[in-house]
Amino acid sequence: MAEFDVDLFTIGGGSGGVRASRVAASHGARVALAEEARLGGTCVNVGCIPKKLLTYAAHFREDFEDAAGFGWTVGSSSFDWGRLIEAKDREIARLNGVYRRILETNGVRILEDRATVVGPHEVRVGDRTIRARHVLVATGSRPVITGEPGAELGINSNDFFHLPALPRRAVVVGGGYIAVECAGILHGLGSEVTLVHRGPLLLRGFDDDVRTVLLEEMRKRGLDVRLEERIARIDRAGARLRATLASGAEVETDVVLHACGRKPNTQGLGLEHVGVELAPDGAVVVDAFSRSSVPSIHAIGDVTNRVNLTPVAIHEAMALVATLFENRPTRPDHAGIPSAVFSQPPVGTVGLTEAEACASHGAVDVYKTRFRPLKQTLGGRDETTFMKLVVDAASDRVLGCHMVGADAGEIVQGLAIALKCGATKEQFDATVGIHPTSAEEFVTMREKVAPTA
């Protein structure tokens, strides 16, 4: 009888878990994966993919407005939330099937049930115990709900993608990327949105100029953003809800969306009972190779609360497979990871903020530009694009690139390669821009501005 039933047992069928399982199986490992919900995890089902689809939908209102400036006569238009959600659900179902086929084609055994860890090498699924050489925890994260009286009357960011109807009025609670994106989607589709955040600016952790510009642009669009404020209680008010703020102000609304972040999804997995160290927030504590305090148990993705992005979970999965099944001990590289916020307007960023650069490198050179994009010279809306470069004064190396404006994520992805290669400001300056584009501004900024950090 073999000592182990499988070489790798993965708990969680999100992007990281599926990638690790598929690639390990392609190297000849015996792999089983347990997922109690739908394959694809947060990203596919209630995160990146549906969010981006809804963001596209929300942009059409502005596109219709811009079209008139370019000679188009646009007739009356209306929006059908139900049709959008049906179309979104069809695409998600298709992706669920793609993930299943990928696993099955590579010989991964899929168990559609909840799995718990009962020993360093043992996983319980239903009424069966499976022995695994390695256990991988890739269970992601779950939404956080604030604890004010009446909080249960609200919904979380998972529920947002299954609203039965578009609310006429909505209160969004939070100031991170989930709150900002959901607020922008609802506003773009026609809801009256009030965004309530207890901090002085949105998007904590991002460059302060980005945070300031985004706030200005959101308010230009008509979003009611209330900073340094919080909800004190939520009550029913007839068919609607009433959110009472700490300041005493009251906001009547059809829905309160709690978008205050997520926490690692480790509750009830049995990890602490087998000696796996968990952080205060529930995250699995791992070393540089994604190994927990129990050598046979590993964790990747949001459940470790390192860098909570889908491509990072996939990157960590590939590094883990190289370590466990290719005899190539590999540490995931978390430096210089680009990210985007699909707000309206969107944000793209890679590298250090100005404050981080000053703290770690001392003297820095800062370059900024803010301009009206060419499209709006005829489109007519009051919209600006912002770009910023942070440069190490001693070495001339570009440390950070930041943008607020159309296509920010698409543009910054390319710049991330340059930063990964250690590009200098001189090399940026020597690069010929593509004209006329907004992206060319990143290689034409010449005037330094005084650092503010």
- Tracing tokens 């000696």 back to the chain, one arrives at 275
Distance, C-alpha 199 to centroid of its chain: 20
Q: How distant, in Å, are the alpha carbons of 109, 408, 439 from that of 412?
A: 38, 6, 9
- DSSP states along 242-294: EEEETTS-EEEESEEEE-S-EEE--TTS-TGGGT--B-TTSPBP--TTSB-SS
Is CATH 3.30.420.40 the classification given to domain 6-142+263-325?
no
Catalytic residue among 187, 298, 361, 435: 435
pLDDT score of 19: 98
The domain segmentation of the chain, as residue ranges, is 6-142+263-325, 151-260, 345-449
User: Checking phi first, is residue 188 left (phi over 0); if not, alpha (psi -120 to 50) or beta?
Assistant: alpha
Is CATH 3.30.1330.60 the classification given to domain 151-260?
no
Q: 435 catalytic, yes or no? A: yes
- The model's pTM is 0.95
Label residue 447 exposed, middle or buried (CB < 10 Å: 0-12, 13-18, 19+): exposed
Residues for the chain: how many in total? 453
pLDDT score of 433: 97
For domain 345-449, the CATH class is alpha beta
Radius of gyration of the chain (CA): 24
- Of 215, 225, 171, 223, give the one whose Cα is nearest residue 347: 215
pLDDT score of 453: 67
Q: How distant, in Å, are the alpha carbons of 136, 158, 226, 236 from that of 197?
A: 36, 19, 6, 22
- Tracing tokens 């394959």 back to the chain, one arrives at 39
- Do the domains at 151-260 and 345-449 have one common CATH topology? no
Tens of pLDDT along the chain (453 residues) come to 469 999 999 999 999 999 999 999 999 999 999 999 999 999 999 999 999 999 999 999 999 999 999 999 988 889 999 999 999 999 999 999 999 999 999 999 999 999 999 999 999 999 999 999 999 999 999 999 888 999 999 999 999 999 999 999 999 999 999 999 999 999 999 999 999 999 999 999 999 999 999 999 999 999 999 999 999 999 999 999 999 999 999 999 999 999 999 999 999 999 999 999 999 999 999 999 999 999 999 999 999 999 999 999 999 999 999 999 999 999 999 999 999 999 999 999 999 999 999 999 999 999 999 999 999 999 989 999 999 999 999 999 999 999 999 999 999 999 999 999 999 999 999 999 999 999 999 999 999 998 886
Contact 132, 122 (CB under 8 A): yes
pLDDT score of 16: 98
Backbone angles phi, psi at 149, to 5 degrees: -55, 130
pLDDT score of 380: 87
Structure tokens at 169: 């009025």
Structure tokens at 50: 């549906």
What is the rounded CA–CA span in Å between residue 102 and residue 33?
A: 12
Structure tokens at 250: 């009251």
List Cβ neighbours of 156 (8 Å cut-off, separation of 6 or more). Answer: 143, 144, 145, 257, 258, 259
